[in-house]
Amino acid sequence: MLVDIIMPKMGESITEGTIIEWRKKIGDNVEKDEIFLEIGTDKVDSEIPASVSGILVEILAEPNDVVDVGKVIGRINTDTKAAIEIPVQDRNEPIVPTETEASQMEKPVRKSTEKKLTGKRKSFFTPVVMKIAQEKNIPIAELDTIQGTGRGGRVTKKDLLAYLDDRSEPVPSSKLSMSDNIEEMEYMRKKIANHMRSSLDTAAHVHVMTEVDMTTIVDYVTAKEESFSSGEGFSLTYTPFIVTAVVKAIQRFPLMNCSLEGGNIVHKKNINIGMAVSIEDGLMVPVIEKCEEANFLGLCRRVRDITVRTRDKKLSPDELQGSTFSISNFGVFNVTMGTPIINQPNVGILGVGAIKKRPIVIETEAGDTIGIRSMMILTLGFDHQLIDGAGGSQFIDTVRKELETMNLERLF
């Protein structure tokens, strides 16, 4: 029986998906619940398991094709005996007399296909890998020598790109001129580019910055690091402190938790913080919902959980939607400051710089002194269509005060 493979619905607002990679080719056996297809949306990439066991007999959508949800993209034949003959029929073999069929079948490759294969192929290569190999003039024989990390030792796109990076080719002295290399943007990079461009076209971006003395929090994290790690199984980071300060600032300035829809201001009931997380192929912004209802330890656990699952690609599409305010911590890359782009439909985003020790003038009743303090620069990007400069300045200053005066002894 033929079973249709349809483009699945990956979330409530998802209407289409892009074929990233078929991990099986026509004629391959597919087991139930085996990952055989990878699909991407504007929210997340997902590995799709087979709903039935059988043989993949038809592929109707190729890699990079954009397909509407619910449309048929392939077919699996659950009757494996009937399906075995299908790949043979697709080879365009010439009709031969019945008495010579056996001898014809013993021939390894017909002459008409030898030129096309250009050598014996030991492995199946995806269209993406074949496309790159063609662009880089890599023969099949060389592809067969690459150690694959994919399922069953299959060479993946990452394997091939890593191989190209490691391979050193001497430049012939006769070809000293260099030409531009043009390649298509990755699927996720296209989505990020479109989202960022749309935000710049939608919001009137304004940025304000301030310095924060993080010395007290740094000392507290250092003192609690060992006991916290032994009790929770992961390290205490600065992110939950920043989220806590942001939540309190939003509660004082709720306009920062709104969004614009046409000429209307949408006041959000809950504070849902979007956390920008860097991954290997780009950036994702998973959402921590209802932060105002969580205590400090709860925020620590949720920040850890959402970060790990994002990098392990275990998020659901719904976890990438519904943010009301975003935080981008580029300080983890040792960057002091930046001007982040607002994550639509939010009206505000907080950029967090690296914490660095610097000599600072300390004002006391006895007079001014100079001391070494752990300082951090915060950047607030906000939409000037809704937030005035005074409101943005007051908001970021409130975040600063919350961080510098936080009652650390009552966190747990």
pLDDT in tens, 236-257: 999 999 999 999 999 999 999 9
- Looking at residue 88, its pLDDT comes to 41
pTM passes above 0.85: no
pLDDT in tens, 268-289: 999 999 999 988 777 889 999 9
Among 195, 213, 384, 397, which one carries the catalytic annotation? 384
207 a catalytic residue = no
Kindly state the DSSP code that residue 136 receives in the 8-state scheme: T
pLDDT in tens, 20-45: 889 999 989 999 988 999 887 766 67
Q: Is the pLDDT of residue 297 over 90?
A: yes
Q: Mean pLDDT in the chain?
A: 84
Residue 18 pLDDT level (bands cut at 50, 70, 90):
confident
pLDDT in tens, 54-74: 999 999 999 888 888 889 999
Q: Is the pLDDT of residue 96 over 70?
A: no
Domains of the chain: 2-77 (2.40.50.100), 138-162 (no CATH), 203-405 (3.30.559.10)
267 a catalytic residue = no
pLDDT in tens, 116-143: 334 444 455 665 677 788 888 888 878 8
Segment 290-305 mean pLDDT = 96
- Looking at residue 75, its pLDDT comes to 93
- Looking at residue 89, its pLDDT comes to 41
Residue 161 pLDDT level (bands cut at 50, 70, 90):
confident
Contact of 350 with 402, CB cutoff 8 Å: no
pLDDT in tens, 356-388: 999 999 988 889 999 999 999 999 999 999 999
Q: Is the pLDDT of residue 91 over 80?
A: no
Query: Which ranges constitute the DSSP H helices of 258-405?
Result: 296-311, 389-404
Q: Name all contacts of 32-35 with Cβ < 8 Å and 24+ positions apart.
A: 35/151
Contact of 393 with 209, CB cutoff 8 Å: no
The alpha-carbon radius of gyration of the chain (Å, integer) is: 28
Kindly state the DSSP code that residue 50 receives in the 8-state scheme: -
